Amino acid sequence: MDPGEFNTRVDLIRDVETGRDAVGAPIIQRMVVARPWAKLTYPGGREFLLSDGKATERKAVIRMYARRDVDNDTTISADGAAWDVKDVRRFDDVIEVHAVAQ
């Protein structure tokens, strides 16, 4: 893959333990843990009807250089949208993340 294709800055968001409360329970916050460059593509979507109207499921395929901190607990945010990671496919030097819009 040509590195010039990574043209979008994405935020990797995860739950991070930021401390302990008064009784010793962990305090968990959603925080941006990295801002790598990536390539976003939008494959064909699926639409279906619900009783109260039309709902859509938006999918994205996000390619970036290989990272170990991307898994199904990661949320990816870019261009005003957020995606939940559903699958991570690891290749030699890149990963391909399949995600669904929140």
How does pLDDT run across 68-101, given as a tens digit for each residue?
889 999 999 998 899 999 999 999 899 999 988 8
Average pLDDT score over residue span 12-24: 93
Which CATH number fits the domain that encloses residue 97? Answer: 2.40.10.370
Rounded to two decimals, the pTM is 0.78
Distance between CA atoms of residues 69 and 63, nearest Å = 14
Q: What is the count of structural domains for the chain?
A: 1
Q: What value does the mean pLDDT of the chain take? A: 85
Query: Residues 70, 91, 93, 77: what is their CA dihedral angle, to the nearest 10 degrees?
Result: -30
First and final C-alpha spacing in the chain: 28
Per-residue pLDDT, 46: 54
Checking DSSP bridges between strand 53-57 and strand 81-90, what pairing results, if any? unpaired
Instruction: State the residue range of the domain holding 10.
Output: 3-101
Per-residue pLDDT, 55: 56
49 pLDDT above the threshold of 60: no
